[in-house]
Amino acid sequence: MINLLSSELFRMRKRAQSWLLIAITFALTALIYGGFAIAAKVNSGPDAQNMRNNVTFESFHDMGLGVSIGFLGSLMLVIIAAGLMGNEFSWNTLRPLVARSQTRVSLLTAKIVAMVIYALIFVAILFIAVTGMYFIGSWFVGEPAGYSMSVFTDSLGFAAKLLYSNLPYVALAFMLATLFKSNAAGIAGALGLSFLEEPIWMLLGLASDAFKGAQDWGISANVNALSGFSAVDIGEGRAFVTLAVYALVFLGIAYAVFTRRDVTSG
């Protein structure tokens, strides 16, 4: 297990995609933030002060962490998770990998643990980079940054919630890539669910009131509840458990399929 985990971490570290996706996430976040900063700098209208405040740590949760970790980060982590298994099939490296693994369970577990470690590093790097960006942006518009230890601890907790809320989508991408032997299936399935789940529930709710209550048990509703973006009072504890159940079910299916699959044909 330790050797398998070391191998997975080594491969992720050497793979350019692992670092490129972090760079792209920060670059896109900086581009969006930079647009707000420039607009705040040149604007002298009645809303100028509000615009400048949005460049300080007053908007760090919604814009900084929400965009980088909550939205863009979710996309990038899904891509990495799908590639963990999808790449093995497309590169025809699965058979030798299984052959040198003690058990298939240990191989899959090593990949999942490696994914968790990567996600933690991903969030840590972005948290530090986006924090620095906000200091520079506040200086650029001439406003106090508004940073304090309480802001730091609150932001750290919020980043952890955003990371946790990505777990079901990451697990779904991993499961679909394992089932269908394809990166594309994992990425399309997980991202498709994240974008389409709410509209689907809304349409079902129009058809029958029974679906309105069921929506509260969906992934999207509990993600919003945990991150504080939900108007429905689901509760963080219930959201935490519900998202964990989804992630465990998806991973359980991946284990069940992979341990029974004939890999001799690819």
Contacts 24+ apart (CB under 8 A), 134-138: 134/33, 134/55, 134/56, 134/57, 134/60, 134/64, 137/33, 137/34, 137/37, 137/55, 137/56, 138/55, 138/56, 138/57
Taking only the tens of pLDDT, the chain with its 266 residues reads 788 889 888 989 999 999 999 999 999 999 999 888 888 888 776 677 788 888 888 888 888 899 999 999 999 999 999 999 988 888 888 888 888 888 889 999 999 999 999 999 999 999 999 999 999 999 998 888 888 888 899 999 999 999 999 999 999 999 999 999 889 999 999 999 888 888 887 787 776 666 767 777 888 888 888 887 666 677 888 899 999 999 999 999 999 998 887 666 54
Residues 6+ apart with CB under 8 A from 65: 127, 130, 155, 158, 159, 162
d(CA 69, CA 127): 8
Is the pTM value of this prediction over 0.85? yes
166, two tokens: 């990505």
- Residues of the domain holding 72: 2-265
In the block, tokens 């647009």 appear at 35
Instruction: Provide the number of structural domains found in the chain.
Output: 1
